[in-house]
Amino acid sequence: MWDYSDKVKDHFLHPRNARVIEDANAVGDVGSIICGDALRLMLKIDPATSVITDAAFQTYGCGSAIASSSALTEMIKGKTLDEAQKITNQDIVDYLGGLPAEKMHCSVMGREALDAAVANFHGKTYEQSHDDGELVCHCFGVGINKIRKAVWENHLTTVEEVTNYTKAGGGCGSCHQRISEIIDEVWEDLEKCGVPRPGYQPTPIGGIKIAVSTGPSAAPAAAAGQSFDDETRGAPSFGKVTEVLREIDAGLGANGSGAALSSIRGDKVAVLLKGPAAEGMMREMTRLFVAQRLSDALGSKVEVEVA
Partner 1 sequence: MDTENLGAGLGGIYLDNNATTMIAPEVVEAMRPYLETYYGNASSQHGFGVPVGHAMERAREQVADFVGAEHPDEIIFTSCATESDNTAIWSSLWTQGQRNEIVTTAVEHPAIMNTCAFLEAHGVKVHYLRPDHQGMLDESAFAALLSDKTALASVMWANNETGNIYPVERLSSIARERGVLFHSDAVQAAGKIPLDVKATDISMLSVSGHKIHAPKGIGFLYVRRGTRFIPFMKGGHQERGRRAGTENIAYIVGLGVACEMAKAHLGEMGTRVRALRDRLQQGLLSRIPECFVTGNEQCRTPNTLNIAFKFVEGEAILLMLNEYGIAASSGSACSSESLLPSHVMQAMGVPFSAAHGTIRFSLSRYTTQEEVDRTVEVLPGIIEQLRSYSPYWKGGKPQIAGQDHDFDPDSSEVRA
Query: Site residues for partner 1, window 172-201 (CB under 8 A)?
Result: none
Residue 297 in contact with partner 1, rule: CB under 8 A: no
# chain residues binding partner 1, by CB under 8 A:
54
Query: What CA–CA distance (Å, rounded) separates 36 from 107?
Result: 14
Taking CB under 8 A as the rule, does residue 2 contact partner 1?
Answer: yes
35 assigned to active site: yes
**In the sheet where 37-45 sits, what is the strand order?**
26-32, 37-45, 52-60
Q: Per CB under 8 A, which region of 28-36, 80-88, 189-197, 268-276 contacts partner 1?
A: 28-36
Residue 258 contacts residue 249 (beta carbons within 8 Å): yes
Q: Does 166 bind partner 1 (CB under 8 A)?
A: yes
The backbone torsions φ and ψ at residue 224, rounded to the nearest 5 degrees and listed phi first, read -65, 150
**Minimal distance, residue 166 CB to partner 1, in Å:** 7
Q: Which of 58, 154, 176 is nearest to 101 (CA)?
A: 154
Determine which one of 35, 62, 139, 172 is catalytic: 35
Can 175 be counted among the known catalytic residues? no
CB 245 within 8 A of CB 271: yes
Stretch that binds partner 1, among 13-21, 178-186, 236-244, 272-280 (CB under 8 A): 13-21
What are the helix (H) ranges across the chain?
6-13, 63-76, 81-84, 89-95, 104-121, 126-129, 144-154, 159-166, 176-192, 230-234, 238-252, 280-298
Question: Is position 93 an interface residue for partner 1 (rule: CB under 8 A)?
Answer: no
Which residues are near partner 1 by CB under 8 A?
1-2, 9, 12-13, 15, 18, 20, 27, 29-40, 57-63, 65-66, 102, 137, 139-142, 146, 163, 166-168, 170-171, 212-218, 250-251, 253-254
Active site residues: 35, 106
